Amino acid sequence: MLQEQTYRPWEGRRAPKWARVWALARTGLSLPLASRWNLGIIGLIYMMVLGWIFILYVMASTDNPPIFVLGNNLYRDWFFNHPMFGFLVMILAATVGAAHISRDLQNNALVTFLSRSIRPIDYLAAKFLTLFLFLLSVTLGPALLLFLGQIAMGQEDLTWKSGLRDLAAILAHSIVIAVPVTSLVLAFSSLTRRPFVAGLLWSLYYLTTWALPGIREISRSGDWWKMVRLQNLTAHVGNWCYEKRPLRLALLRFDSPSEEMPCDPWISLVVLAAVSLLSLAIVRLRLRLPEERT
Amino acid sequence: MILQAEHLNHWYRHVIALNDISVSIPPGITGLLGPNGAGKTSFLRIAIGLMRPTGGTLRVLGASPWNCPAVQKRIGYAPEHDGFFEWMTGREFLRTLARLRGVRDRSAPKTAIEQVRLSDVADRAIATYSRGMRQRLKLAQAIVHRPELLVLDEPLTGTDPVVRSELIELIARFAREGTSVLVSSHVLHEVEALTSRILVLHRGRLLAHGDVHEIRALIDAHPHTVHLRADRPRELAAALVREPDVEEVRVEESHIAVRTRRPDEFYGKLPRILLEGGWRIEEISSPDDNLEAVFRYLTEK
Amino acid sequence: MAKTLAVLALASLGLRSMFTGRRAVLTAVLISLPPTCAALIGATSQGGFDWAWAMHGVSLRLVLSSYLIVLTLIHGLSLSSGEIEDGTAVYIHLGILPRWATLLIRFGSTTVLLSILTFAGLALSGLAVAVTMNAPAAALLRLAVRYSFVASVGIGCYLALFLFCGYAFRRPAAVGISATMLWEIVVTFFMPMRFAAYTLTNNLYGLALSLAMDGHPGRWFRYRRGSYEIPSYSEASLYVSLFLGFFLAAAMIAIMNRSIEGKEAR
């Protein structure tokens, strides 16, 4: 008996769009953890971050805490805005995110993905979600732990309103860091077929923009060079999210670059948004099938 | 002996690539056979000193090739996978490698190019070469320094029939000129065209080595098949089936297929049987006295 | 004579490989970034910004701190694990020279060429500052020469490290990057403690302090305080010598023991 061989379209129930995006994202979440070396680097970074969080928690929970860990300054300048933390986020983003799109380009997997009912924008959303969640885990996660620790053992008497505002500020600050970093890393990842080169380009960009303002640091007022450093921009916008609370004692000034930015925070926000959108536009342009490129 | 291995073992982490191989290879052409993953490339790479065995010893041309440039310069190696400096031309590539191997004769690269018939494309970038040209280039770099031993890993893979026959002829010529050749291949009938001396590897173990026909004779697990084409086949079949050496007789459309575990005795008796019955024989052949049958039998065990 | 030919062929091969493909593009980007940054800094500088500080900043903060690492990472890994991955190592290591000699020759030729290229980048940076800030070109070029010397020491040390990583480890990029990013950069810039004197970056700073800054750190090392000081010239020389010697020897041992497996092994 001969079986009917002509094409029959699928008549079953299709999964919703978000499920397809989530399926892609889930694959992306597990991929970096499949390599032992990646796992080692990621583990080391988490350990350093959690170790630092622990030190901050202990410092802020003593009977006579140092002045600089009082108030929400603890989260701002001693965690999110700390240069070392920014650097660790950079390494994590390079380790986890550099291969996201470049590996798919290398293996011609784009053809596989985009020949299904997955649009380029769905693919981009999935990749964005993957890296964004990873970065949130190292920004929001530890900050939440610290926040809960301060609720329990901190020296500041917070009202519910202030506590919730701090919580919202922590969430906002995490997003302000994670979104532009994710966009930039994906852009670099889409520029090359070699994950190693993508990671190098991102690191080079970060190190250059980190060093340049330092070379100009002798000129402090109205120095627009500070806008070049990504961490200055995220710190400026992040600090904007926090409630400014009067404290019992004056704070010692930490050499916070956000205090000396040459513009208002909303300008920094616009710059961050523009950088993110431009990066995502670059990725979208690169997500063309081979036949569309000719 | 050009190569002597004793209890040779090699692991890639937890995977055994070579398992207790002991063999001696005399001068001449030797074919190295085995399915994918048998350990052929690992064996060859240890033989030329690129890899160090995990256990056991292997001596080539009288010494261990590991970290021994004195031995390595007497060996020519053509790897299976392509790995060229794609930006170089073929001529530049050969010239560079000739110098790396200490060849002072400036005409050596040109000679090698002519021998493999790459003169027309020698000044083109390797990136523009076809598969066959790349295989020929690999062979050229293996012979440019006139080695005593040629180690060729799948030299015929991906080549068209014309190139293949040219390469076979070339390899045979090197052997006639005194170079020993150790060649691995999946293309069994072409190894057969080159040599009857083989090494068979399977899952890292040495299954057999020596002459194809001798190995075949030793495989008594599998009866020998003989095809006979004669007039009055059914009568001949009836006569043969009575013989104690014969296990099975089948009458096919064009011939009789006889299976026997003692081919020598069978062949010894066959003329008498034929004379007594007066049958006229048009053809006698043995379909499995060849490399493919030997290989199949050995790897199916 | 045969060995001389082989040495020359190896050196020439190494040098030519550096100017092909992706490596050449990345090298060109890295060499052109300092002059570009120097030109931008000079062009946007306001009154009171010293031209020498612009050159010090570009050399210390960009070149010695980060670009050197990236440049030598690219070339070190290409020479070692890169050639094993793409299959060309078979041809390199089946010559008449022993493996350790092959490594030394390629290390030497690569270090020399990268040093020359770095000098070119620093010289162009000096010229960029001279043009944009109306500064004396001769003085800036002198600074460029001195920083190039320090940079060439750094190139040698980092190249030895990455060659060792390339031959000793199956994941050399991960090991090399962990070692340099997490030790060199994090400790140098964020942990001003006593053991920070044991980073290569700080020791290169020590050499630069004596050779290019005449012992006057100015504002560049003002955050070094308490128990930590930038190493002196003699301390830095000793450290870099030991670093270079150790990792070069380790790389030679690694290459002598490295099995060059084929793609089938992966």
> If you write DSSP's letter for every residue of chain B in order, what string do you get?
--EEEEEEEEEETTEEEEEEEEEEE-SSEEEEE--TTSSHHHHHHHHTTSS--SEEEEEETTB--TT-HHHHTTEEEE-SS----TTSBHHHHHHHHHHHTT---TTHHHHHHHHTT-GGGTTSBGGG--HHHHHHHHHHHHHTT--SEEEEESTTTT--HHHHHHHHHHHHHHHHTT-EEEEE-S-HHHHHHH-SEEEEEETTEEEEEEEHHHHHHH-TTS-EEEEEEESSHHHHHHHHHTSTTEEEEEE-SS-EEEEES-HHHHHHHHHHHHHHHTPPEEEEE-TTSSHHHHHHHHHH-
- The whole-angstrom separation of Cα B115 and Cα C233 is 60
Q: How many residues does chain A have?
A: 294
pLDDT in tens, A1-41: 566 666 666 677 777 778 878 888 888 887 777 777 778 87
- The whole-angstrom separation of Cα C44 and Cα B228 is 97
Interface check B184 vs C, CB under 8 A: no
- The whole-angstrom separation of Cα B139 and Cα C262 is 18
Q: Specify whether the CB–CB gap between B151 and B47 falls below 8 A.
A: yes
What predicted TM-score, i.e. pTM, was given to this entire model?
Answer: 0.84
Q: How confident is the model at residue A245 (pLDDT cuts 50, 70, 90)?
A: low
Task: Evaluate if residue B21 carries a pLDDT over 60.
Answer: yes
3-state secondary structure of A262: coil
Residue C223: per-residue pLDDT: 46
Task: Evaluate if residue C31 carries a pLDDT over 70.
Answer: yes
pLDDT in tens, B204-263: 888 888 887 777 666 656 677 888 888 888 888 888 888 888 888 988 888 888 888 777
The token pair at A135 is 């970065």
Residue A5: per-residue pLDDT: 63
What chains are in contact with C, requiring at least 3 Cβ pairs below 8 Å? A, B
Report the mean per-residue pLDDT for chain B: 86
**Phi and psi torsions of C157, nearest 5°:** -65, -50
Looking only at the bridges linking them, the beta strands covering B180-184 and B149-153 are parallel
Percent of chain A with pLDDT over 70: 83
Task: Evaluate if residue B269 carries a pLDDT over 90.
Answer: no
What chains are in contact with A, requiring at least 3 Cβ pairs below 8 Å? C
ipTM: 0.84
Residue A183: per-residue pLDDT: 96
Task: Evaluate if residue C38 carries a pLDDT over 70.
Answer: yes
Q: C2: which chain B residues are within 8 Å (Cβ-Cβ)?
A: 102-104
pLDDT in tens, B146-176: 999 999 998 888 778 888 888 888 888 888 8
pLDDT in tens, B96-146: 999 999 888 889 999 999 988 899 999 999 999 988 899 899 999 999 999
**Mutate which of C73, C133, C177 to disrupt the A interface (most A C-beta within 10 Å)?**
C177
Residue A251: per-residue pLDDT: 43
Interface check C26 vs A, CB under 8 A: yes
- Whole-angstrom CA distances from A100 to A26, A108, A191, A278, A288 are 12, 13, 11, 18, 16
Task: Evaluate if residue B36 carries a pLDDT over 70.
Answer: yes
Percent of chain C with pLDDT over 70: 92
Q: Which of residues 124-143 of B touch C (CB under 8 A)?
A: 141
| C93/B50 Cβ within 8 A | yes
Q: Specify whether the CB–CB gap between A248 and A85 falls below 8 A.
A: no
Chain C residues contacting B via beta carbons under 8 Å? 1-3, 5-6, 8-10, 12-13, 16-17, 20-21, 86-99, 256-257, 259-265
The answer for residues whose C-beta is within 8 angstroms of residue B275's C-beta and 6 or more apart is none
pLDDT in tens, C67-117: 999 999 999 998 898 888 888 898 988 889 999 999 999 999 999 999 999
Q: How confident is the model at residue C264 (pLDDT cuts 50, 70, 90)?
A: low
- The whole-angstrom separation of Cα C64 and Cα C189 is 13
Q: In this structure, which long-range contacts are made by residues A251-257, counting pairs with CB atoms below 8 Å and at least 24 apart in sequence?
A: A251/A67, A251/A68, A251/A70, A251/A71, A251/A73, A252/A67, A252/A68, A254/A68, A254/A73, A254/A77, A254/A78, A256/A76, A256/A77, A256/A81, A257/A81, A257/A213, A257/A226, A257/A229, A257/A231, A257/A232
- The whole-angstrom separation of Cα C74 and Cα C173 is 9
For residue C6, give the nearest of B48, B67, B102 by CB distance.
B102
Q: Element (H or E) spanning C8, and its range? A: helix C2-18
pLDDT in tens, A186-223: 999 999 888 888 998 999 999 888 888 877 664 444 47
Q: Which of A164-173, B77-86, B189-198, C94-103 has the least mean pLDDT?
A: B189-198
3-state secondary structure of A237: helix
Task: Evaluate if residue B31 carries a pLDDT over 60.
Answer: yes
Task: Evaluate if residue A291 carries a pLDDT over 60.
Answer: no
Q: Specify whether the CB–CB gap between C148 and C118 falls below 8 A.
A: yes
Strand partners, B285: B227
Question: Amino acid identity, residue A66?
Answer: P
Residue C252: per-residue pLDDT: 96
Q: C21: which chain B residues are within 8 Å (Cβ-Cβ)?
A: 87
Task: Evaluate if residue C57 carries a pLDDT over 70.
Answer: yes
Task: Evaluate if residue A271 carries a pLDDT over 90.
Answer: yes
